């Protein structure tokens, strides 16, 4: 029966994707907040995906239009269970024309290749967008 196959498939997905501590290897959470000319980025992902990855010279995002300049990425690590940690990466941008921002690409995927997906929340004065981005679909399109 089809339903039996679906059940066993979902058990397999849980067993392979879930790790101790409640995070999922390969998955991160990304918050992007635009406030005036300042855009703040906060990413939380499993240490397993970011260990050994250098932030030097790298940017979390590539911003289309908007005249945005990125500052250095900073990192902090918190252990969530034995042998498992979450790493938080933060970065700020100064944008001279924030209203002109057309799209935001998650360039993090280029230098943290084991990440398979990020849950993204984008907040500004007049927009809230929540979506999932992946290496195959890394761009958050902002229409206005």
Contacts of 106 (CB under 8 A, 6+ apart): 30, 60, 61, 118, 120, 133, 138, 139, 140
Give the binding site for Zn ion (CB under 5 A): 19, 46, 48, 84
Contacts of 62 (CB under 8 A, 6+ apart): 104, 105, 107
Instruction: Closer to Zn ion by CB, 28 or 138: give it.
Output: 28
CA 98 to the chain's CA centroid: 20
Taking the complex as a whole, how short is the minimal distance between the CB of residue 45 and Zn ion, in angstroms?
10
| Six-digit token string for 19 | 């790790």
Instruction: Closer to Zn ion by CB, 81 or 110: give it.
Output: 81
Taking the complex as a whole, how short is the minimal distance between the CB of residue 20 and Zn ion, in angstroms?
7
Instruction: Closer to Zn ion by CB, 48 or 123: give it.
Output: 48
Taking the complex as a whole, how short is the minimal distance between the CB of residue 143 and Zn ion, in angstroms?
36
Instruction: Closer to Zn ion by CB, 84 or 105: give it.
Output: 84
Query: 10 Å Cβ neighbour count for 67?
Result: 14
Taking the complex as a whole, how short is the minimal distance between the CB of residue 78 and Zn ion, in angstroms?
12
Nearest-CB residue to Zn ion? 84
E-assigned strand segments in the chain: 27-35, 38-46, 61-64, 68-70, 74-81, 84-95, 103-106, 117-123, 128-133, 139-141
């Amino acid at each position: 029966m089809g339903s039996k196959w679906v059940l066993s498939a979902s058990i397999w997905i849980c067993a392979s994707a879930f790790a101790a501590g409640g995070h999922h290897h390969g998955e991160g959470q990304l918050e992007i907040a635009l406030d005036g000319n300042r855009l703040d980025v906060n990413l939380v992902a499993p240490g397993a995906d970011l260990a050994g990855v250098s932030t030097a010279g790298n940017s979390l995002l590539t911003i289309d239009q908007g005249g945005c300049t990125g500052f250095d990425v900073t990192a902090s690590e918190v252990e969530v269970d034995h042998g498992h940690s979450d790493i938080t990466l933060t970065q700020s941008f100064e944008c001279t024309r924030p209203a002109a921002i057309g799209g935001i690409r998650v360039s993090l995927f280029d230098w943290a290749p084991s990440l398979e997906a990020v849950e993204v929340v984008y907040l500004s004065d007049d927009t809230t967008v929540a979506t999932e981005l992946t290496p195959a679909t890394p761009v958050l399109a902002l229409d206005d």
